[in-house]
Structure 1
Amino acid sequence: MAIGFHHTKEKTLLRVSFYVAGLFVFIALGFAFITHSAAILFDGAYSLIAFFMSLLTLKVANLVQLPDDDRFHFGYTAIEPTLNLFKSIVIIATCLYAVVGAIGSLTNGGIKAEYGYAIIYGVIATTACFAVSGYMKYQSKPLRSDLVAVEVHTWFVDGVLSASILLGFATAYGIEQTRFAEYASFIDPVLLIILGLAILPVPFKIMLDSLKEVINKAPPESVTAVIEKRLKQTLIAVPYQHVEVRISKSGRDIYLLVHIIVDKSFSVATISELDDIRIASETAMRQWDPAIIMDILFIANPALAD
């Protein structure tokens, strides 16, 4: 089974994410200690999760490049959506925990933070997170890696989180200079609630997409229709009644089980002629999309394709 492509560049990008996430843990936790801000502490916790998830992602990136063996007959690519599913659940749990904690802080009178230092953190974190996300997205364009795609989303969400923190603390700093200064302490927990709820749709989408792959659900009709059309173009010289295609996506691989219900006029002299058809079809499909892996069966009885 052919596994992956551009794996060296993929690992390089994942290492960048890993090392920068580790740096951000120290920066965020340091500023959280200085500013006494729960929102920055949450951002630090998010970075800590990203750090450990990046470590796991690097391990999985190595595994998915391995060929199939006696333990994993279809290779290791199924680990990819499983990891993404796990990562999304952890992020969702972190967001919900932060929201609950922020609600508790609100009922206790809010949180007084050092907004000047918090603004400095917001500028640094926002710039860095969007820079990493943009760099990884640009560099990963030729790749077909769900692992890198999830990292790009993670850094983008962290950038939105940091930008919101920056905006909120700038607002709180301004309020402190007015006669409404007593309300500034509510900005931090309110901001944390808004952020925690606002970023939930991203990990929820990743969770649902990954779950579909884990349970082996077929890709959307818009995707399968294009694949089937391309496949039939590679079989134009083969007399057939019908082509039945079953499609599943597991990580970076798209698996096609193809039943060709041959016409009565179809005949071959040797098995090698069938192999030639298979090779020509799969080569054409993989030139179009290198992620495709195919098994082709030739049958005369349509019932065998059910």
Structure 2
Amino acid sequence: MQTKTREITILRITTFVCLFFGILGVVASQLAQSRSLLLDGLYSLIQSLFILGSGYVVSLLFKSDDARFPFGFAAFEPFFLVMRSLTLLIMVLTIGSSAFLSLFSGGYVISVDIALPIAGLSFVVCAVVYAILKREAKILKSPVLRSESKAWLLDTLLSLASLLAMLVAYIASKYSLSALMRYIDPALTLAFLFCMIPLLAKDLIQYSKELLGAAPARSTQSALEKIAYKFVRRHDFLKAEVYASKQGRTLNVLMYVYLKEERPLLQLDAIRLEILKALYTYSSWCEADIIFTLDDRWVDYTAIPSLQHA
């Protein structure tokens, strides 16, 4: 199966699973009066809507450039992931504030008989989907699937929070600890929210940096530099400078190769092709411009200072 088809198929399947458990969680939370189950259900519902958007973004990445977007659609991926992280963060903070107020206003009683089986089923399914997405994201090298796997990890943790709340509430009900039961659900909801917020904030910062054209990881920069200087040594060039930015899975590379003496254009074109093949071997999502120059005075008038040096 082609990468695009496989990726979109996985996203479609997870959309239906996520939507089903989102609706189930919200309905069950109203019947059981559980905010931890509500958080889990709303998270799944919002996630299912974003998974639909993920499929559209993936299809855009495989499209050719057009008149509206002559430099391609790479920026759509981090933009989409920024919006997703921001929406989930706002949802988490909203439900967290509700749980916090409940904790200091007498708590609330939940119906364990309704919520416990739903929380258990949700936890098992979310854990399985997370494991599958994590494996597929690694195989396909897909930031979208990687982001989806993180989202399902958070959903798994939320389901675990609901399950623990139900189990503790069930144990408390057996020992007639009604006072304790009122605080179990909001307390565990807040505990897991405190774990989720740093993860969502970290993703938001990372994707925002990619959207703004930040340099890739230091390991990626070093790899690009090694490729450039391999050709400098092989063809006896003066030096090479490499500038790079990363947007989602797309790696944008600008390479300046400084010559010692004038060379035939056909020879330089052949060398450019060798370099491009080496870069593509390193990353199949690499888009590169390679510029040879003998007189580098013009370089001072380019936008190099606005790029991150690799």
SS of corresponding position for 2:115: helix
Q: CA deviation at 1:18?
A: 1.1
Quote the residue 2:120 is aligned against: 123
Q: CA deviation at 1:303?
A: 4.2
Amino acid at match of 2:282: W
Deviations 1:74-114 (A, max 9, x none): 10111000000000000110111011111221233111101
SS of corresponding position for 2:274: helix
CA contact (8 A) 1:234 1:284 kept: no
Q: CA deviation at 1:301?
A: 3.2
Amino acid at match of 1:135: I
Count of equivalent residues? 299
Q: How many Å separate the matches in 2 of 1:221 and 1:284?
A: 19
Quote the residue 1:254 is aligned against: 251
Q: Percent identity?
A: 26
2:96 aligned residue (96, 99, 122): 99
Q: CA deviation at 1:116?
A: 2.9
Q: How many Å separate the matches in 2 of 1:35 and 1:61?
A: 38
Amino acid at match of 2:286: I
Quote the residue 1:69 is aligned against: 66
| 1:286-301 superposed matches below 5 A | 286-301=280-295
Quote the residue 2:276 is aligned against: 282
| 1:1-306 superposed matches below 5 A | 6-264=3-261, 267-269=262-264, 271-306=265-300
Deviations 1:1-40 (A, max 9, x none): xxxx711111111112211111112221232132111110
Q: CA deviation at 1:197?
A: 1.8
Judge which range, 227-236 or 148-157, deviates more: 227-236
Structure 1 gaps, min length 5: none
Deviations 1:138-162 (A, max 9, x none): 2232212211111110011100111
TM-score (ref. length: structure 1): 0.93
CA contact (8 A) 1:95 1:197 kept: no
Q: How many Å separate the matches in 2 of 1:49 and 1:291?
A: 29
Deviations 1:212-271 (A, max 9, x none): 11111111323201221123224442222211111011122101100001123xx423x2
Higher helix share: 2
SS of corresponding position for 2:186: helix
CA contact (8 A) 2:39 2:158 kept: no
TM-score (ref. length: structure 2): 0.92
Q: Which runs of 4+ in 1 moved over 4 A?
A: none
Q: How many Å separate the matches in 2 of 1:236 and 1:304?
A: 24
